[in-house]
Every structure is written in structure tokens, then in C-alpha cells.
Amino acid sequence: MTRLRASLCETLDRDAVCVVATATRRVRKGVAALGLALALISAGCRQTAPEGHATRGVVQRVDLEHREILVDHEEIPGVMHEMTMLFGVAADVELEALAAGDVIEFRVRDDDGLFTVTEIRPSLP
């Protein structure tokens, strides 16, 4: 049996749309080729459509008390140019391990110009 779920996700920093295909499959002959094709299609995509905008930056300051970070961030195409900017951070985002100088990839949600960081991960070289 093969169960397929396909959904659209936006690759925001490229203004492109890609198809995320998630396949839950049992390993059976005849299904393997399809499974491989789906794995290749979804290689550059997330499993679920993420909200907000993806960008990178260098942490300048971490304010644990107010859950804010000051980040020198790259351009977010169509949203804002590169700048050093203070962001509020969503309650479920881990902040304790973050420090000034860290290079991060992060996502921001735009609520009519109020930007909130919803995801932070170390930037891969």
C-alpha cells in the first residue's frame, strides 16, 4: 500500500513554489522507483508549509527577559533590506543557548509589520 500526500509549499527566499510530496510507504517491489522519485522531488522542501519568511543573520544581542534578539540580518526579498533589527521571539523558541556572534538561519512572521521570530537554527557553512 502506498499513501501519498502532496501539498504546496513556498520557497520564500526564491519566490518559487515547489511541491512537497510526502510518501508513507511499505517497501515493496514496484513501489521503490516511485518512492525514490518522490524523495528526490521533496529533497529541497520542508515536510509542512512553513509560515513567514526565511533569512540569515548574525546575533548582536540576546535579551532573555524580554524575549528579544537584535540581529544583523540579510535582505528578505520583498519585505525588507538588510539591517540590524530587534525582533520579538515566539514563546516556543529556545533562546537560552543563543549568544552574540552566532550566525543563524531563522524565520520571521509578519503581523502587519510586527515581526516575530518563529524558528531559529544554526547556520550551516
Q: Read off the amino acid at residue 105.
A: E
Burial class (CB in 10 A: 0-12, 13-18, 19+), 30: exposed
* Nearer to Cu ion (CB atom), residue 41 or residue 85: 85
Number of residues in contact with Cu ion, rule: CB under 5 A? 3
Contact letters for Cu ion, residues 29-58 (x by CB under 5 A):
------------------------------
Is 9 a residue that touches Cu ion (CB under 5 A)?
A: no
Residue 23's CB is within 10 A of a number of other CB atoms, namely 18
Is 85 a residue that touches Cu ion (CB under 5 A)?
A: yes
Is 80 a residue that touches Cu ion (CB under 5 A)?
A: yes
Q: How far is the CB of 19 from Cu ion (least distance, A)?
A: 30
Count of residues in the chain = 125
Is 83 a residue that touches Cu ion (CB under 5 A)?
A: yes
The region of 12-20, 43-51, 56-64, 82-90 touching Cu ion under the rule CB under 5 A is: 82-90
Phi, psi of 45 (to 5 degrees): -115, 160
DSSP of 75-93: -BTTTB-SEEEEEEE-TTS
Binding footprint of Cu ion on the chain (CB under 5 A) = 80, 83, 85
